[in-house]
Amino acid sequence: MVNEGDFVAIFNSIHRVMKAEALLKGRSVPMLLIPAPRNISADCGLAIRYAATDRETLESLLAEAGLIPESIYVKLDGKYVKAGARG
């Protein structure tokens, strides 16, 4: 479900992840609402998956809306690694 190099944004509540999904869909940003990967802790159980090519746009829109994820991971070599700040 998550491809190599994809990012996964974890939120601390179902309300926030659903709000983020609605915002991103409304702006036609490519993303997918997925069950949070088992080895990543997520209180709400859902996460947003997106490609590296969409990272800047997606994360900027979330920040502008006050929907900053609790954490962001990237899948590298089959493992989830906490992503650093973009830029």
CATH class of 7-79: alpha beta
Q: Exposed, middle or buried: residue 4 (CB in 10 Å: 0-12, 13-18, 19+)?
A: exposed
pLDDT at position 87: 47
Residue 1 predicted with pLDDT over 90: no
Integer Rg of the chain from CA:
12
Beta bridge pairs of residue 74: 7, 81
Distance between CA atoms of residues 51 and 44, nearest Å: 22
pLDDT in tens, 9-44: 999 999 999 999 999 999 999 999 999 988 886 567
pLDDT at position 40: 86
Domain range annotation of the chain:
7-79
pLDDT at position 39: 85
